[in-house]
Structure 1
Amino acid sequence: MVRRMGDGIHDRRAGAAPGRGGGHGHAEIRQLDGARSVLSFAPPGPSSLACRAPPAVSTACSHPVEARGLVSRAFPPHPGVLLYLLRHRRSGSKRDGGSAPLRCTYRVKLLAFNWRDPKHPEAGGAELHLVEILSRAVQDGDQVTWLAEAFPGSEPEEEHRGIRILRRGSWYNAHLALAQLYRRRLRGERFDLVLEDINKVPFFTPWYVRAPVLAVVPHLFGATVFREASPAVGALVWAHESLIPLVYRDVPFLAISESTRDDLVRRGLRRENISVVRCGLDQSGYTVTVPPGDRTEPVVVFVGRLRKYKGAQYLIRAFPDVLRAVPEARLRIVGDGPYRENLERLSRSLRIREKVEFLGALSQRDKVAALNRAQVAAAPSPKEGWGLTVIEANACGAPVVASKSPGLVESVRDGETGLLVPHGDAGALARATIRLLTDPNLRLSMAGAGLRWAHGFTWDRCYRESRAVIARAAGAA
């Protein structure tokens, strides 16, 4: 029904562990063998869950967390409690300026619903975002179960980065199969919070789970689904999305951009129920290996899954104008997908096939190398949740020409880290690309600004702010 509609453009599967050194701090909350009270010996000072917003300002919170039901409380003078604390004490985070020699925190039990899991061959941005958060929660002492569709060669149950993964159903019926799995196997388990990642057909978990729900939304398709799916499938997805304001009326939301938040508000959801936490970036994986000033070839790169709704066709249509102004220019397309044949046919019909290279899906190392050979990156899609590929390009020293579309208007700082043009306007796209290719001072200025912008995004920061939202959502129950 909605097969292959996700953004599977990432070079490594979402579950691949990034090259991060060390841990990332203690958990603020942890369960004590089923007890419902919360014990804390947190050192004086701000909560470790207080937001520390980078240049990408988050609206997730502006104060230390005060999750009802999960806030620190004084513990009773019971010898059994003291023995537990002595046996299970954890040091405080060195990042937060020292350690707490005697510290006890509550372990939260989380259940996640997502159509795909991190090991799915088509796992993309939504899965990357969720696994970066939940794997850190596991390291901080939480227990996480992830429900997802099965895929060829997959196991019905396995563990990945400490996350228990259960799989049922398939690309067309997982929303039904996973609901049945929950009712038959998990309904008797106590979960502190259910995280439903809404990025295709919703699971409508508020109707049947016995725990508070936090809806995590990268973006919704809306009318853009009709650019990709058949009219029948598009109508089905659109109809399911139209029920979100009814089913999730009293559910808190975690959106990855202000654009997604505004979309939810336009659909009738309350703004005060929606927190915004922008995505992070693997800072050790996306770096400059070729200084922007040393890139002498006029190369433009597109990175994305080759689906119609990703908009690579607009870039190809713009390229004849680019070649008239910069005859030595080349276009390199990184990614694969069912629309590739159409794009190759389009480049042949425009008689620029020899100037367009289709590199296919690349490893992270090769993708970073491709970004480091480009003078300009392009993101011509009609809608993104945030625009992670934009930040990846900036981190590799490439300014970006992008559509003035939801999500991209936030990840691209127009006139500073790149240029925004009206979506679908091939002429405007060509003119902006030519401008960057032919003005080295402007291009290098934007490359430097892009590097500074990208360095503000980390998965640790994303986790801290998301963890605060999770604590509030669980405590609100």
Structure 2
Amino acid sequence: MDAVPIADNAGVRPLTVSLVSFHTSPLDLPGRGDAGGLNVQVLALADTLTARGHRVSILTRRHGRDQPERALTPGGAEVLALPAGPLGPLRKEQLPKVVAEFSDHLAALPTPDVIHSHYWLSGLAAQPVAAGLGIPHVLNLHTVVALKDEHRAPGDSPESPERCASERMLTRSGDTVAGSERERDAIIRHYGPAPERVHHIPPGVDTDLFSPARAANSPAPLRALPHGYLAVLGRVQPLKGQDLAIRLLAALPAAARPDLVLAGEPTLGQEDYATGLRALATSLGVAERVHFLPARSRADAAALLAGARLALVPSHSETFGLVALEAAASGTPVLAQRTTGLIESISDGESGILCDGRDPETWAREAARLLDDPTRLDGLSRSARDWAHNHSWEAHAARVEDLYARLAGATTSPVARI
């Protein structure tokens, strides 16, 4: 498959774009509730497309009385919170029941040139609307359930058959954007859409926000730790595998053991897993070295990553792994499993180290090799930063824009094959 070149938009007329993020608002704080990399990507895409001259609206479910019905992103894109079900957070198994109400409100809005859904629930709401209006529908799954179930964490519940069937239907009924080649391959292998309608467009990273210079803004108590700290950022749930990070910490030599920072909050329904992490740290004798922090603002997340000696991404699977790219931009090497999209978000030996399997002793040996070799760690930090600079939100948005233009007939010049 040919990569789409980064291009200006001189041959593309301004488009009206609806980005649908039904189950979580891009204005929500990543690491809290259902907010994560999806939120970061939708917000970055909206603001970059707006800067490129398009009119962008983000449609999300209104989930609280304090959530405004209309707001603006930092880049000026409109965020509309549409009613769907009761105000307040809903567990994931409750969300499909309110999709139809959200879809009705979506259909009543002015017709855009293209609708771009993020996550399967958004697709369920938006695909019938797009079909009824005769306009293009583009989908990002962000998490492919078939791939997730292949790498499910021990004890984690399988996803519903409804979700798998819905993802199959959605990917066969329109165009899908995949963040990694592994995600693209999984979609084609499990769901059977036409390969030419599944487009590999990797996400980007804000290298101004995520920078080594941010280390000076990390919390003073963490900067004062005698052996520094390792950082894990993300929602607390079995899929993200924070338990492996705690086991790794316990396997490191005690004399020079860094602390471990886990920043993020449990997804609704995963509170028992979060409680179990604290019990695990106690049982392994490292409770005093593990710091549980709430979800961080983007600026605080950047400071936390920049101040860490290593970033850990212990996920069982990732369709891409945005935190790994943010850590690299921060000049912080990453340790992760050699699996799924992490193979592409981390350049092994350049932006971090990929471990085979999930044995804590193996991970601890790899971490110790880096922590005990300042010259190698410093070199990896510099090459990680260089690696991250090859990924930008401008490049991501330009490629998505080219796809929109081709589907909506909004280009006056040939569009490269995706």
For residue 321 of structure 1, the aligned residue among 244, 251, 259 is 251
Please identify, of 363-372 and 253-262, the stretch whose mean Cα deviation from structure 2 is larger: 363-372
Give, in angstroms, the shift of residue 108 of structure 1: 1.9
CA shift in 2, pair 1:365/1:143, >3 Å: closer
CA shift in 2, pair 1:255/1:462, >3 Å: same
Q: Map of 1:8-407 to 2, 5 A cutoff?
A: 60-62=3-5, 106-114=13-21, 115-120=23-28, 122=33, 123-155=35-67, 157-161=69-73, 162-170=77-85, 171=90, 174-175=95-96, 177-183=98-104, 186-187=107-108, 189-198=110-119, 202-203=123-124, 205-209=126-130, 210=133, 211-222=135-146, 224=148, 227=153, 231=157, 234-236=158-160, 238-267=161-190, 268-289=192-213, 297-324=227-254, 326-337=255-266, 338=271, 339-407=273-341
**SS at the partner of 2:276?**
helix
CA distance in 2, matches of 1:436, 1:285: 25
Deviations 1:104-149 (Å, cap 9, x if unpaired)? x633222232222223354321122112112332344433333322
CA distance in 2, matches of 1:428, 1:340: 24
Question: In the alignment, residue 467 of structure 1 is paired with which amino acid?
Answer: E
Question: In the alignment, residue 326 of structure 2 is paired with which amino acid?
Answer: E
Does the 8 Å CA contact 2:28/2:39 hold for their aligned counterparts? no
Runs of 4+ in 1 over 6 A off after TM superposition: 63-66
RMSD, aligned α-carbons:
3.2
Does the 8 Å CA contact 2:153/2:238 hold for their aligned counterparts? yes
Give, in angstroms, the shift of residue 183 of structure 1: 3.6
Deviations 1:195-247 (Å, cap 9, x if unpaired)? 1112557516434432221112323133636649974xx442x4322343334
Does the 8 Å CA contact 2:231/2:304 hold for their aligned counterparts? yes
CA shift in 2, pair 1:272/1:444, >3 Å: same
Give the TM-score taking structure 1 as reference length: 0.71
**SS at the partner of 1:203?**
helix
Give, in angstroms, the shift of residue 384 of structure 1: 1.2
CA distance in 1, matches of 2:351, 2:397: 25
Question: In the alignment, residue 192 of structure 1 is paired with which amino acid?
Answer: D
User: Partner of 1:439 in structure 2?
Assistant: 373
**SS at the partner of 2:116?**
strand
Give, in angstroms, the shift of residue 422 of structure 1: 2.6
Quick check: 1:456 aligned with 2:379? no
For residue 474 of structure 1, the aligned residue among 383, 401, 408 is 408
User: Partner of 1:414 in structure 2?
Assistant: 348
The number of equivalent residue pairs is 378
Give, in angstroms, the shift of residue 63 of structure 1: 8.6
Rg larger in structure: 1
CA shift in 2, pair 1:279/1:65, >3 Å: same
CA distance in 2, matches of 1:178, 1:141: 31
CA shift in 2, pair 1:341/1:247, >3 Å: closer
**SS at the partner of 2:301?**
helix
CA distance in 1, matches of 2:69, 2:144: 29
Give the TM-score taking structure 2 as reference length: 0.80
Question: In the alignment, residue 119 of structure 2 is paired with which amino acid?
Answer: I
CA distance in 2, matches of 1:430, 1:385: 25
CA shift in 2, pair 1:447/1:199, >3 Å: farther
**SS at the partner of 1:317?**
helix
Please identify, of 407-416 and 422-431, the stretch whose mean Cα deviation from structure 2 is larger: 422-431
CA shift in 2, pair 1:388/1:184, >3 Å: closer
How much identity, in percent, do the aligned residues show?
23
Give, in angstroms, the shift of residue 260 of structure 1: 1.2
**SS at the partner of 1:300?**
strand
CA shift in 2, pair 1:65/1:262, >3 Å: farther
**SS at the partner of 1:297?**
coil
Does the 8 Å CA contact 1:201/1:240 hold for their aligned counterparts? no
Question: In the alignment, residue 363 of structure 1 is paired with which amino acid?
Answer: S
Give, in angstroms, the shift of residue 340 of structure 1: 2.9
Does the 8 Å CA contact 2:13/2:410 hold for their aligned counterparts? no
Does the 8 Å CA contact 1:155/1:167 hold for their aligned counterparts? no
CA shift in 2, pair 1:194/1:445, >3 Å: same
CA distance in 2, matches of 1:221, 1:321: 32
Give, in angstroms, the shift of residue 187 of structure 1: 4.9
CA shift in 2, pair 1:214/1:375, >3 Å: same
